[in-house]
Amino acid sequence: MRDPVNDASCEMLGDFFSTLAHRTRMRILCALQHESRTVTQIAESAGISITNASQHLRIMRERGAVVAEKQAQSVYYHVADPRMLEAMRMIRDALSERLRLEAERASPRGARRVNKRLLQTA
């Protein structure tokens, strides 16, 4: 028999990860990792148009990934829960480690190239 709590948790996680499965939305979260920003600032940081940023932010807001707060004439966005950023870092670290181990198995020289690339992105 299925565990309804487990099923609900899996469904909730699936919905959340599908929200973040888009590269543009990941770039938006990265743009928000240190401070709240306006749509214009997010678009510039993520390298996308303001219209595109607004569309993605709407989806992210509806699904609970970001929060919008109006301050005077501007709307600022921030990550809904800082633990989301920590989870992203943990997943990135796990994937980076896997990539490093695969490169090591392939060749010692490949591992050095991977380590150099990872240092540049950290």
> Would you say residue 112 has pLDDT above 80?
no
CA–CA distance, 57 with 55 (Å, rounded to integer): 6
pTM over 0.85: no
- Percent of the chain with pLDDT strictly greater than 90: 59
pLDDT at 103: 83
Using an 8 Å Cβ cutoff, are 64 and 18 in contact?
A: no
In the chain, what are the domain boundaries?
A: 4-80, 84-121
* DSSP H or E stretch at residue 82: helix 82-106
Under the banding of pLDDT at 50, 70 and 90, the label for residue 43 is: very high
CATH of 4-80 given 3.40.190.10, 3.40.50.460, 1.10.10.10, 1.10.760.10? 1.10.10.10
For residue 58, pLDDT over 70 is answered with: yes
What was the pLDDT predicted at 104? 81
SS3 102: helix
Task: Give the closest residue to 66 by CA, choosing from 23, 92, 37.
Answer: 37
53 touches 43 (CB < 8 A): yes
The pLDDT confidence band at residue 122, using thresholds 50, 70 and 90, is low
pLDDT in tens, 67-92: 999 999 999 999 999 999 998 899 98
Identity at 2, one-letter amino acid code = R
